[in-house]
Amino acid sequence: MDAVEKANAERQKRWVKDQKIGEGTYAVVYRGREASSGRQVAIKKIKVGLFKDGLDMSAIREVKYLRELKHQNIIELLDVFSSKTNLNLVLEFLESDLERVIKDRSLVFLPADIKSWMAMTFRGLEFCHRNWILHRDLKPNNLLIASDGQLKIADFGLARDFADPGYKMTCQVITRCVCAAVGYSRDSDINHGWYRPPELLFGSRYYSTAVDIWSVGCIFAELMLRTPYLAGESDMDQLNTIFRALGSPTEQDWPGHTKLPDYVPIGHFTRAPLRDLFTAASVDALNLLTQCLIYEPKKRITAKDALSHAYFFAPPYPSHPSKLPKTSPPVNTTQPLDEIDGNTLSGKNNRKRKLSSSTDETKTRSAVARRLDFTKTTPGS
């Protein structure tokens, strides 16, 4: 055994996998602990063997950026080790996420609670952007909640640096993925861009931190509405939903958008006042939401400026994280490791075990989201 293998073996002995808690297409997540202290952790096993060309790029990105980013509002990567043909990421264990909190109808949100979640989101995002990193996949189930109430940005599998503003990037980011484990495991088979900005939907390959700000704006709206704000069923329907909610952009609103690679005209909708839908929101809240959802990316507020917005300094002041509403711990429906070691069930096609029907969950969320009626006007030609 050479020095590298010996060091990896020693790292592996530090961590014990206790129970499988979720599975996506490319990863299995386990509840685990540190052998010496008993500290609870999440161990994300990347299935390297599924990739014919080696390791999945999203796993490399996740390790790279979490190694660089140390902040109280960003999930902590504790260790990395390999076992057989798999790569294992050891992450701090966080039982809940913002999506579960939003969907828990037994919880009542106060304006101060929403303000606290938004402040923590912007703090974590500002740190990413200050370090020249775009997250590119912000959504409620990638915002994890610690036992002390701290919100932490997770899942950096689509993140990338943006030091060169002239560098082309993919527009196929910011997914609506239903994951088998809270915030740790990506399954991209179900992909609705509910949090994707219009410039990406129109195929822009040159973009900036503004894509993350749009996503945060959608999350802000969802916290106030308790249902997804802009929930389309395809890229075209997503654009249609955005334009119904915010009005169709003009060249004055968004210069050059008709020249984007995938631009298609989508009728004409008149913008309805946000107040019509967000009836209980403060003036400052609506102003911040508006600045997050500006069509022209250059005019969207930055994370740094958002933290200085009047919304965060006007009463009611943000709730302390420890006082925020919390969901009950999930009912443990998974089996001990020794009963699922093969990660398969007997039966037709020997298919992988899924902890829940993600398709059914997506249909349910879509049905709820589609109840939103943004405007009664009819699109023109």
Cα distance between residue 332 and residue 139, in whole Å: 24
95 carries a ligand binding annotation = no
Q: What is the DSSP string of 288-309?
A: HHHHHT-SSGGGSPPHHHHTTS
Residue 94, helix vs strand vs coil: coil
User: Phi first, then psi: what are they for 40, rounded to 5°?
Assistant: -75, 135
229 carries a ligand binding annotation = no
With the C-alpha atoms ordered 103, 327, 144, 116, is the resulting torsion angle positive or negative?
positive
45 carries a ligand binding annotation = yes
Q: Give the sheet arrangement for strand 151-153, strand by strand.
A: 96-97, 143-145, 151-153
Phi-psi region of 166 (alpha: psi -120 to 50; beta: other; left: phi over 0): alpha
Taking CA 217 as the corner, what is the angle to CA 216 and CA 221, rounded to the nearest 5 degrees?
Answer: 115
Q: Is 187 a catalytic residue?
A: no
23 carries a ligand binding annotation = yes
Burial class for 366, CB neighbours closer than 10 Å (0-12, 13-18, 19+): middle
Cα distance between residue 331 and residue 218, in whole Å: 29
User: Residue 353's closest CA among 87, 29, 17?
Assistant: 29
| 235 neighbors 198 (Cβ within 8 angstroms) | no
21 carries a ligand binding annotation = yes
29 carries a ligand binding annotation = yes
Place of tokens 């740790």: 184
24 carries a ligand binding annotation = yes
Rounded (10°) angle between helices 111-130 and 210-225: 170
26 carries a ligand binding annotation = yes
Residue 125: what residue type? L
Cα distance between residue 260 and residue 335, in whole Å: 50
Place of tokens 């386990």: 30
173 carries a ligand binding annotation = no
Query: Which residue among the candidates 137, 187, 212, 235 is catalytic per the annotation?
Result: 137
Cα distance between residue 212 and residue 233, in whole Å: 21
Cα distance between residue 59 and residue 157, in whole Å: 6
Residue 109, helix vs strand vs coil: coil
User: Residue 17's closest CA among 337, 309, 334?
Assistant: 337
Annotated binding site: 21-29, 44-45
Binding-site positions for ATP = 21-29, 44-45
* Residue numbers annotated as active site: 137
